[in-house]
A and B are shown apart, each in its own frame.
Chain A
Amino acid sequence: MAQSQAEIKARGQTAPTDTSNPEYFHKVVDCQWACPTHTPVPEYIRLIAQQRYAAAFMLNWESNVFPGILGRVCDRPCEPACRRGRVEEKPVAICRLKRVAADYKGDIDAFMPEIPKQKNGKRIALIGAGPASLTVARDLMPLGYSCTLFEKDAKGGGLMRSNIPSFRLPASVLDEEIERIYDFGIETRFGQEIKSLDALLKEGFDAVFIGTGAPKGKDLDIPGRKEAAANIHIGIDWLTSVAFEHVHTVGRRVVVIGGGNTAMDCCRTALRLGGMNVTVTVRSPRRVMKASAWEIEDAEHEGVPILDNHAPKEFIVEKGRLKGVRFAKMKEVGTDKSGRPKLEPSGEEVVIECDDVLMAIGQENSFPWIERNIGLTFNEWDMPTVDKVTMMSTRPGVFFGGDAAWGPENIIWAVAHGHHAAISIDSFCNGRPLTERPAPGSNLFSQKMGIHEWSYKNDYAPLQRVAMPHADKAQALRNLKVEVELGYDDKLAFKEAERCLNCDVQTVFSAPLCIECDACMDICPVDCINFTPNDAEPALREQLRVPARNKTQDIYVSAPLKTGRIMAKDEDVCLHCGLCAERCPTGAWDMQKFMYVEAQASQACLTHHNAYLR
């Protein structure tokens, strides 16, 4: 007699995995699961390997809107998640492969959604022309909305233009991707800074989306700050001035204070504007620096020393001019509860002489233009209250997204917020409850083509991560606009694409077909398949062939088999090589491709995704 899951649980055993819940297999696709917009990474990597760059680009464009931009400067939450990084040392270069799709896509105009000529009569105001607002516009335009984009700067792009230097993100790439969205028929109002939300609301928009970022760079109130103000710059403001060509030079000796990606952009920009001795100083130990590993690597490759445990104490001013910065050296004395190092001064002091200081110690939100009496509540840190799911503020019809919502994040999160906000705005304008979210689409499809043939390449390639070719260093350092990373060509891209383990091709197990011959367990190269008595999950994890101690990864548990045992598979380091299915005499294992399509406001922007669901 079949046992109910409640009965099994009551006995302290692990209930069979519910694979009908799309989130189970979605989680196995680590990269897609980690991506805030859930881009179907393995699928587009296979398309790149097949040189179907336009199709690869479109899957990306539909999910993350800015493949060319993100293929260069994404924060890449997918890469630390990549299963390859757990099997070997280095994950698949997912971000760089995305760039390949963008570089070689060719003409994709024909794939753009049709924008209705007959509008639906709803007007949406978008404040700030960054990735969040642009995503909202892209998602809503195919539904017939009229979108008006307000931007205080002369050009759109937000921090993608003002804060990311062109040697990492060429203006041509940025322009192409944002103009593609302008071409949908958005009304753009550049150079128009919104000074009052109340006034804007009175213009009768049906909904307002605020994507103004976190535009205020933090300052450091230590002695000498005022006296040396002429040579002390807020990092993001300085980068903006460089981007808009208001600043062309910097002193020969530059100290950058801060350890995030902005600090890395500041030091590398300074090198290109004439800085000869550029030093980055960080208050905390190196291992907790906020900057991405690859950005630190690039800065060091260009010759910038990074000094950690340096806490700024004083700007030294002589004769009214900045002379240098005095630092207290810090030492680590244990860690706090969250694992962050606790620091105290070591007693040693260091003076670094310099001509200019760039401060990149963080960014804050700033909403002086939002009246506090128009129905939007602000919390104790002066941040608006925004619903985590609907992106709506406490005033119906006013939405937030990107860094403006909950403080600095990154581009890919801004895009994800944009998608969520667009769904909410569409529901709001049509009188549907915002809490009812559209379900994701998914399907599973067998990849079996013959006895031991699969429609994906299941042969594991023991290859090292392909290094990114760089422009000549001397030449790159002379010109701010020379892009440092050259991108993979088709051959390098193919090689790197072969490293992808195809984690979306799932190992699907059917308990009634299993004869418990052990063939799958014996062949599995990473010992993840087990036939074992059932037990409560913590105990079950310990009794596997190799104990499953990575708790972030699920155990795939089958219904009881004929002997009363269960099949338990640790998903952690499964190579998706399909040998379990090849060695199974009864077809109890099958390799099935799992497609997961995150819902958006408009199906018109998901045609390439939806083609997989048919």
Chain B
Amino acid sequence: MSYISKPVAHHPQLPRNKLGLTRRDYEGSMSTLCAGCGHDSITAAIIEASFEMDLPAHRIAKVSGIGCSSKAPTYFMNRSHGFNSVHGRMPSVTTGAAIANRDLVYIGVSGDGDTASIGLGQFCHAVRRRLNMTYIVMNNGCYGLTKGQFSATNDKSSPSKKGEANPFDAIDLCQLAIQLGAGFVARSFSGDKNQLVPLIQAAISYNGFAFLDVISPCVTFNNHTTSTKSYEYVRAHNLASENHLDYVEPKEEITIDYAEGTTADIELHDGSRLILNKLDSQHDPRDADAALMAIRTNAAKGAVATGLLYIDPTQQDMHDILATDARPLNALPMTELCPGSKALEAINARLQ
């Protein structure tokens, strides 16, 4: 980690967004992660995405668990709400917060240990409940904070830095999320911001559970030549990139010309649009079965399928399903929030 703080000076011609803020205004504290950590790149992508979307920091809640990944919210948007929770319990805390205040943008940051091991049950139920949040897993296939033991997402074919074999199969979080009913599932790579930034923007715009599994090399413990989560391996095997996504903000004009037949145009609840350039892929990301197939066939070849893998543009989120009040609790007048003992007695009487 660096001991100096990042200089306050910025480029005098740095662009400003509609809020008059620069990219630098979306930063957090100086990262204490290892130099070259993929997590820092994902942090930078979140900063870039939020800046481009003109998000006001005070409308954002960043929630995390424990692990290298879960430290990351400290490193972006230091003027946002934040909760660094117990290991694997980020989904519960986010559920509570989302019930109480549906108006905030929830960005959950977790890791492969936090999500695929100790928090797997929590993760499943957050998906099942269709929590309106962006769930980002910074996935490096190892427990970096405790000296690099295999995590549950490490590929069986990928030995440790010291050469020990990994005896167990990996949990594929994207497949799991699709099976559990997540409405937005994407995979990306920390070393490819061109792909990652629009995916984060789309995930934030998406109304429902948006899941992003981002392969993020651990430079210290899992970036060796035999690792399947190293910069070099992922770059070499990311040929299966399923599609290229352009995120178009609500009311923004589409300025790029797309060749006919190569794109899918998906409109989200907030009016923003996702223009998917399908590249060579045959699979329609609106088809869950095809998405699962694409992930599995690529994995069998040793390739990593990235891009927007699955999307259900019509999914209802938890608040729609539960038909909750359209207002956040802090906007309800006291008389509605706490109708008094008579109302309580009436409810109790109904249950007797």
* B is a partner of A: yes
Residues on A facing B (Cβ under 8 Å): 86-88, 452, 458-460, 462, 515-519, 521-523, 525-528, 546-547, 549, 562-563, 573, 575, 577, 579, 582-586
Question: How far is it, in angstroms, between the C-alpha of A459 and the C-alpha of B30 when the chains are bound?
Answer: 13
Whether B9 and A87, one on each chain, are in contact in the complex, defined by CB atoms closer than 8 angstroms, is yes
Whether A522 and B41, one on each chain, are in contact in the complex, defined by CB atoms closer than 8 angstroms, is yes
Could you say which residues of chain B place their CB within 8 Å of the CB of A582?
A: 2, 35
Could you say which residues of chain A place their CB within 8 Å of the CB of B346?
A: none
Query: B12-20, B129-137, B143-151, B307-315: which lies at the A interface?
Result: B12-20
Interface string of B1-37 (1 = CB under 8 A from A): 1111111111111110000000110000001001111
Question: B176 to chain A: closest CB distance in Å?
Answer: 28
Q: Is B198 an interface residue (CB 8 A)?
A: no
Question: Of all chain A residues, which has the CB nearest B36?
Answer: A585
Question: How far is it, in angstroms, between the C-alpha of A558 and the C-alpha of B2 when the chains are bound?
Answer: 25
Could you say which residues of chain A place their CB within 8 Å of the CB of B37?
A: 519
Q: Using A452-B3, A583-B40, A585-B35 as known contacts, say yes or no to A462 and B231 having CB atoms under 8 A apart.
A: no
Question: A384 to chain B: closest CB distance in Å?
Answer: 45
Q: Is B159 an interface residue (CB 8 A)?
A: no
Could you say which residues of chain A place their CB within 8 Å of the CB of B23?
A: 527
Q: Is B193 an interface residue (CB 8 A)?
A: yes
Question: How far is it, in angstroms, between the C-alpha of A52 and the C-alpha of B138 when the chains are bound?
Answer: 50
Could you say which residues of chain B place their CB within 8 Å of the CB of A521?
A: 44
Could you say which residues of chain B place their CB within 8 Å of the CB of A88?
A: 9
Whether A577 and B7, one on each chain, are in contact in the complex, defined by CB atoms closer than 8 angstroms, is yes
Whether A519 and B36, one on each chain, are in contact in the complex, defined by CB atoms closer than 8 angstroms, is yes
Whether A518 and B193, one on each chain, are in contact in the complex, defined by CB atoms closer than 8 angstroms, is yes
Question: How far is it, in angstroms, between the C-alpha of A522 and the C-alpha of B41 when the chains are bound?
Answer: 7
Q: Is B269 an interface residue (CB 8 A)?
A: no
Most chain A beta carbons < 10 A, residue from B2, B7, B23, B34: B7
Question: How far is it, in angstroms, between the C-alpha of A575 and the C-alpha of B8 when the chains are bound?
Answer: 11
Instruction: Choose among A515, A525, A546 the residue that contacts B7 (Cβ–Cβ < 8 A).
Output: A525
Could you say which residues of chain B place their CB within 8 Å of the CB of A516?
A: 191, 231, 235
Whether A546 and B11, one on each chain, are in contact in the complex, defined by CB atoms closer than 8 angstroms, is yes
Whether A459 and B4, one on each chain, are in contact in the complex, defined by CB atoms closer than 8 angstroms, is yes
Whether B14 and A546, one on each chain, are in contact in the complex, defined by CB atoms closer than 8 angstroms, is yes
Q: Is the interface of A mostly helix, strand, loop or mixed?
A: loop
Q: Is B93 an interface residue (CB 8 A)?
A: no
Instruction: Choose among B8, B24, B41 the residue that contacts A518 (Cβ–Cβ < 8 A).
Output: B41
Question: Of all chain B residues, which has the CB nearest A89?
Answer: B12
Whether A460 and B43, one on each chain, are in contact in the complex, defined by CB atoms closer than 8 angstroms, is no
Question: A524 to chain B: closest CB distance in Å?
Answer: 9
Q: What is the interface size of chain B, counting residues whose CB is below 8 A from a CB of the partner?
A: 36
The 6 closest A-B pairs by CB, nearest first: A585-B36, A460-B7, A522-B44, A459-B4, A525-B7, A585-B219
List 19 additional A-B contacts (Cβ < 8 Å) besides A527-B11, A562-B232.
A88-B9, A460-B4, A462-B7, A515-B232, A517-B36, A517-B219, A519-B35, A519-B36, A519-B41, A523-B6, A526-B11, A527-B23, A546-B11, A563-B235, A575-B7, A575-B9, A582-B35, A583-B31, A584-B35
Whether A527 and B40, one on each chain, are in contact in the complex, defined by CB atoms closer than 8 angstroms, is no
Whether B12 and A573, one on each chain, are in contact in the complex, defined by CB atoms closer than 8 angstroms, is yes
Could you say which residues of chain A place their CB within 8 Å of the CB of B285?
A: none
Q: Is B38 an interface residue (CB 8 A)?
A: yes
Most chain B beta carbons < 10 A, residue from A459, A460, A462, A522: A522
Could you say which residues of chain A place their CB within 8 Å of the CB of B190?
A: 517-518
Question: Of all chain A residues, which has the CB nearest B24?
Answer: A525
Q: Using A462-B9, A522-B43, A583-B2 as known contacts, say yes or no to A517 and B232 having CB atoms under 8 A apart.
A: no
Could you say which residues of chain B place their CB within 8 Å of the CB of A546?
A: 11, 13-15
Could you say which residues of chain B place their CB within 8 Å of the CB of A515?
A: 36, 223, 231-232
A-B contact pairs, 20 of them (CB 8 A): A452-B3, A460-B9, A462-B8, A462-B9, A517-B36, A517-B41, A517-B191, A518-B41, A522-B41, A523-B6, A527-B14, A528-B11, A546-B14, A577-B4, A577-B7, A583-B31, A583-B36, A585-B36, A585-B219, A585-B223
Instruction: Choose among A519, A525, A562 the residue that contacts B10 (Cβ–Cβ < 8 A).
Output: A525
Question: How far is it, in angstroms, between the C-alpha of A462 and the C-alpha of B5 when the chains are bound?
Answer: 12
Could you say which residues of chain B place their CB within 8 Å of the CB of A519?
A: 35-37, 40-41
Question: B350 to chain A: closest CB distance in Å?
Answer: 57
Instruction: Choose among A452, A526, A562 the residue that contacts B1 (Cβ–Cβ < 8 A).
Output: A452
Could you say which residues of chain B place their CB within 8 Å of the CB of A527?
A: 10-11, 14, 23
Question: Of all chain A residues, which has the CB nearest B37?
Answer: A519
Whether A583 and B11, one on each chain, are in contact in the complex, defined by CB atoms closer than 8 angstroms, is no
Q: Using A452-B3, A583-B36, A586-B36 as known contacts, say yes or no to A517 and B11 having CB atoms under 8 A apart.
A: no
Q: Using A522-B40, A522-B41, A583-B35 as known contacts, say yes or no to A460 and B8 having CB atoms under 8 A apart.
A: yes
Residues facing A in B241-293 (CB within 8 A) are none
Whether B15 and A517, one on each chain, are in contact in the complex, defined by CB atoms closer than 8 angstroms, is no
Question: A549 to chain B: closest CB distance in Å?
Answer: 7
Most chain A beta carbons < 10 A, residue from B3, B9, B44: B9
Q: Is B217 an interface residue (CB 8 A)?
A: yes
Instruction: Choose among B6, B14, B34 the residue that contacts A585 (Cβ–Cβ < 8 A).
Output: B34
Question: A584 to chain B: closest CB distance in Å?
Answer: 6
Question: How far is it, in angstroms, between the C-alpha of A187 and the C-alpha of B83 when the chains are bound?
Answer: 81
Question: B8 to chain A: closest CB distance in Å?
Answer: 5
Could you say which residues of chain A place their CB within 8 Å of the CB of B14?
A: 527, 546
Could you say which residues of chain B place their CB within 8 Å of the CB of A577?
A: 4, 7
Could you say which residues of chain B place their CB within 8 Å of the CB of A87?
A: 9, 12
Whether B11 and A573, one on each chain, are in contact in the complex, defined by CB atoms closer than 8 angstroms, is yes
Question: How far is it, in angstroms, between the C-alpha of A374 and the C-alpha of B325 when the chains are bound?
Answer: 103
Question: Of all chain A residues, which has the CB nearest B217?
Answer: A517
Question: Of all chain B residues, which has the CB nearest A454?
Answer: B4
Could you say which residues of chain B place their CB within 8 Å of the CB of A452?
A: 1-3
